[in-house]
Structure 1
């Protein structure tokens, strides 16, 4: 077990003790920025990033709202509030039945449901700020050359200005914030569930549609047929909107900065992070590019 996983297990054991939940036999599902563990009794624990208690609170509240509104999603278990351990919030969730990742069509159908809802004022959803983390990840990266860092920071500044001048589009609504097939689970009966509510916010619905479009046009991980199913299920082709290049550019930059963050923690991801930087800088030819997933 890696040092990161050992530390994560220690935090998990402390949180479970505070919540009165057995931790013996816990199994890691994913150890990354947010660590996810499977516990006995069909409970899943999620260990958030440091100083993100408010985000964890929001996740629990959003999950309750979506479930009460008829949108299938993960449901809180055991406690209505996060357990705070060494500055990191730990939340507990009901484990889903056996499932597979969703399709592009599944993503579109769940987004359409969510976007039609009016969030209660008690949720206090933050406005979409798509570059907030990105600038920090670029500035804090240890692997960037001075030239690459300067270029990425300038690109972020340019996109921020363009985001503030987005052309009119669909009416603003509650957004998932990180809508892709990996954040949708489908059980054996075909029921689709919306996962990972950390980035739920309020803003232009096109933001939730751009991720799948970018995976089609930028990285070619979504086929033409899959994208066609996505746009038909939602009823909108976001690539035809004049604001698409701006949101797509932001999404691409976020995918690069995420890889930089992972590369700072996992040396084996450094080549992929640099490859993505090189693509954005025009060193690898035209889109679509081949990008490999980072843990």
Structure 2
């Protein structure tokens, strides 16, 4: 690790990165943090990227490798494993190793749509589990941060109850499109666009089988909730997917609610390690609770902390 990294979350993940590399027979000397968010992602010499999960995500890491190989077999561009197996770590964590992509930028929304259209038409593989409760991720985060002081006890109680209501609503969703393979967290930040115009899917650990509408909702909320993309751009997304606008789906409000809640709980989780993000987390909670007027709300990306390796959203 370089001596100049002064971000506490990056420093905390370093011993795990070092241990995983040693176990895998790789030299971690000169490693640099790439992104410290839900997972800790580091680059090591040799064009390899190490991804260390949060606690409780070991099984998902092993499945992510299976998903990457399955996508490669079906011609879908995605990150590719540098090693075939994960290294198990304490606290039900794991580290996976990936080939570093060429120089790239965040994907376009149309890239997301094209990749999802391709993914949703693939046969369902045996290793993917059903998407049974996407609100669970928010509840897990709330349980982990309930005493961190970022939001009030009243807000926390409301958020937990709201998560439970959304979980119940998920199981009574209106009929939609046929179940398909899902990315599970499909948005432009999880797509990399290289200089030659190719687009690659990233972060495959949420892959599952379920309603295709779930993957499409992440981009739709950028119009309906946060107003971070303009309507013409969203219309190009819809066209690139094949003309289907998820906002017309009868279960969209439930899916939108779950996505919003996950965005809010991500901000609360981030504020635990980066206190300067507390105002944004509290602002999002107030919006969700109806204290800041109707949608769309003004949400900003959770800013990167001073001295950190880069943005955390």
TM-score range, shorter chain: over 0.9
> Which residue does the alignment assign to 1:144?
151
| Residues 179-232 of structure 1: CA deviation (Å, up to 9, x unaligned) | 000000111110110000011111100000001000111101121111001111
In 1, Cα distance between equivalents of 2:233 and 2:178? 25
SS state at 1:186 partner: strand
Q: Does 1:265 align with 2:269?
A: no
> Which residue does the alignment assign to 2:117?
112
TM-score by structure 1 length?
Answer: 0.95
Aligned length: 293
Residue of 193, 204, 207 corresponding to 1:200: 207
| Residues 224-268 of structure 1: CA deviation (Å, up to 9, x unaligned) | 111001111112100011111111111111111111111122211
> Which residue does the alignment assign to 1:176?
183
SS state at 2:77 partner: coil
TM-score by structure 2 length?
Answer: 0.90
SS state at 2:43 partner: strand
Residue of 232, 237, 241 corresponding to 1:234: 241
1:119 shift after superposition? 2.6
CA contact (8 A) 1:215 1:221 kept: yes
| Residues 80-116 of structure 1: CA deviation (Å, up to 9, x unaligned) | 1111233321110000011111111100000000010
Residue of 231, 243, 246 corresponding to 1:224: 231
In 2, Cα distance between equivalents of 1:104 and 1:2? 31
In 2, Cα distance between equivalents of 1:81 and 1:126? 23
SS state at 1:29 partner: strand
- Structure with more contact order per residue of length (Cα contacts < 8 Å, sep ≥ 6): 2
> Which residue does the alignment assign to 1:75?
80
Residue of 259, 262, 278 corresponding to 1:254: 262
SS state at 1:14 partner: helix
Structure 1: state its 5+ residue gaps. none
In 2, Cα distance between equivalents of 1:149 and 1:182? 28
1:2 shift after superposition? 2.8
> Which residue does the alignment assign to 2:27?
22
Q: Does 1:58 align with 2:66?
A: no
In 1, Cα distance between equivalents of 2:193 and 2:291? 38
In 2, Cα distance between equivalents of 1:33 and 1:237? 29
SS state at 2:131 partner: coil
> Which residue does the alignment assign to 1:211?
218
Structure 2: state its 5+ residue gaps. 1-5, 303-311
> Which residue does the alignment assign to 1:285?
293
In 2, Cα distance between equivalents of 1:120 and 1:264? 37
| Residues 37-81 of structure 1: CA deviation (Å, up to 9, x unaligned) | 11111111101112322111000000000011010000000x211
1:120 shift after superposition? 2.4
> Which residue does the alignment assign to 2:305?
none
